[in-house]
Amino acid sequence: MTEALNHGDDNLVIAQRLAEWVSRGPDLETDIALGNIALDHLGVARALLAHASEAEGGNEDDLAMLRSEREFTSLLICEQPNGDFAQTIARQFLFDAYQLGLWEKLSTDLDATIAGVAGKALLEARYHFRFSSSWVIRLGDGTPESRRRMEEGLVLMWRFVGEMFDQSPDLRSDWDRRVDEVMTTATLHRPADGFQRRGGREGIHTEHLGHLLAEMQWMARAYPGATW
Amino acid sequence: MIAELLEQVKDPEIPVLTIADLGILRGFDVDGSKVTVTITPTYSGCPAMDMIKADIARVLEENGFSTTIRITYSPPWTTDMISREGKAKLEGIGIAPPTPVSEVRCPRCATGPARTVSEFGSTACKALMVCPNCREPFDLFKELR
């Protein structure tokens, strides 16, 4: 069930980050878009965490709300702060490109539930990638200010790319091709690979995850077993 | 009997559509007074799923059946699974049925192609369009396939 838990955590954490944009988006349309994408990730997270909990006991809510930072095995990129809009788009773009390959691969997984969730998530990931890459192009090939911010966002997120492929190195070449194609259209240069941060899959996180979980989990922890 | 009861279960956000129209009702098994209903989610994060599950259970239990609801993810739902009747009903209430974005026509005056205002709209399954002729803004049921 490691697979269900790992990818469930990725989707839960990035959904929580995207939800922070709700009512704060640059305009109404992007606000709604980020909220919608967050919902898709949350739905995937629920399906995978429910599946993981079948094997390990408990339920999806306990896994989401009652585990501590060290027990989360999400990728470091998912927990990175939103920053400005370009930084959020950089994170989403790199992660969408990864999930496209991941879901395609998992859609033929031997575990029928994982295969089913992946097949569905793949259709949604295509929609997400179209949104994030269109913004990478618009900001990258836009004004000097939008270009500067897009470049900074990508440089900031690039140190978390290597970790995405530790367990599935076979996905890297397609990811490179996808990302390079969009960045070329956006007239952007690919950042140097440089030092790569790792540890998410082992529960060793950046300082940001703890704060994110504190906000996400406080109510479930303050009122144990509360229902609507 | 069961099929007729399930006809009463509507999408809470688009109440002209039944769960059968939407293609999210995959089937049901009847064993005496026990019914197992199998459904599939539309969009992964569709918040209406919990309400749909509760509605299925309510309708069947009011009629004396005990109900189990199974969720299946395979094969994944696509907008091709919305019935022809369902698509006509959508158009009837001013929501353009799933169509490639470049070919969308206004559900009121049939002019096309409509302009995309936002690829994401009022619910997880919709995008926001505007008619080039009558200027009416309208929802498009996003094509997912």
pLDDT band at B124 (very low <50, low <70, confident <90, very high): confident
Question: Which pLDDT belongs to residue B87?
Answer: 95
Question: Which pLDDT belongs to residue A152?
Answer: 98
User: Is it true that the peptide bond before B113 is cis, omega within 30 degrees of 0?
Assistant: yes
Segments making up each domain of chain B, as ranges: 2-71, 79-141
Query: B128 to chain A: which residues are within 8 Å by CB?
Result: 29
Query: Residue A179: which residues within 8 A CB-CB, separation 6 or more?
Result: A93, A94, A97, A190
Facing B76 at nearest CB: one of A119, A130, A131:
A119
pLDDT band at B144 (very low <50, low <70, confident <90, very high): confident
Dist. CA A40–CA A124, nearest whole Å: 7
Which pair of tokens denotes residue B77?
């739902």
Domains and CATH numbers, chain A: 2-222 (1.20.1260.10)
Check A39 against B43: CB less than 8 A apart. Answer: yes
Q: Does the CB of A33 have a partner CB in chain B at under 8 Å?
A: yes
B44-70 pLDDT, tens digit per residue, is 888 888 899 999 999 999 999 999 999
What's the 3-state SS for chain B?
CHHHHHHCCECCCCCCCEHHHHCCEEEEEEECCEEEEEECCCCCCCCCHHHHHHHHHHHHHHCCCEEEEEECCCCCCCHHHCCHHHHHHHHHCCEECCCCHHHCCCCCCCCCCCEEEECCCCCCCEEEEECCCCCCEEEEECCCC
Average pLDDT of adjacent 10-residue blocks, chain A of 228 residues: 94 98 94 94 95 86 96 98 98 98 96 93 95 98 98 98 97 98 97 96 98 97 89
Q: Does the CB of A4 have a partner CB in chain B at under 8 Å?
A: no
Facing B120 at nearest CB: one of A33, A43, A112:
A33
Residue (of A166, A179, A167, A172) closest to A92 by Cα position = A179
Please tell me which residue of chain A has the smallest CA distance to B117. Answer: A29
Interface test mutation site (partner A, options B38, B42, B73, max chain A beta carbons within 10 A): B73
Please tell me which residue of chain B has the smallest CA distance to A29. Answer: B118
Q: Name the strands in the sheet holding B126-130, side by side, starting at the edge strand that comes first in the sequence.
A: B95-96, B137-141, B126-130, B115-118
Check B45 against A112: CB less than 8 A apart. Answer: no
Of B144 and A172, which is predicted with more confidence? A172
Query: B141 to chain A: which residues are within 8 Å by CB?
Result: none
Facing A43 at nearest CB: one of B43, B74, B78:
B43
Q: Does the CB of A32 have a partner CB in chain B at under 8 Å?
A: yes
Residue (of A34, A18, A10) closest to A164 by Cα position = A10
How distant is the Cα of A227 from the closest Cα of chain B, in angstroms?
14
Check B144 against A39: CB less than 8 A apart. Answer: no
Dist. CA A133–CA A130, nearest whole Å: 5
How distant is the Cα of A195 from the closest Cα of chain B, in angstroms?
35
Question: Which pLDDT belongs to residue A222?
Answer: 96
Facing A40 at nearest CB: one of B45, B75, B76:
B45
* Count of pairs with CB atoms under 8 A, one residue in A, one in B: 80
Mean pLDDT within B89-99: 94
Q: Is the pLDDT of residue B121 over 90?
A: no
Question: Which pLDDT belongs to residue B75?
Answer: 86
**Residue B140 main-chain phi, psi, to 5 deg:** -115, 130
Q: Is the pLDDT of residue B125 over 90?
A: no
How distant is the Cα of B142 from the closest Cα of chain A, in angstroms?
10
Query: Residue B12: which residues within 8 A CB-CB, separation 6 or more?
Result: B48, B51, B52, B55
Which pair of tokens denotes residue A166?
């530790």
| Helix, coil or strand: residue A20 | coil
Q: What's the CA angle centered on B12, arms B9 and B14, to 5 degrees?
A: 100
Pick the CATH number of B2-71 from 3.40.50.1970, 3.30.300.130, 3.40.50.2020, 3.40.470.10: 3.30.300.130
Q: What is the dihedral of CA A31, B81, B138, B102, to 10 degrees?
A: 90
Which residue's structure tokens are 């998992």? A106
Among B residues 57-96, those touching chain A with beta carbons less than 8 Å apart: 72-78
Question: Which pLDDT belongs to residue A24?
Answer: 95
Predicted TM-score (pTM) of the model is 0.92
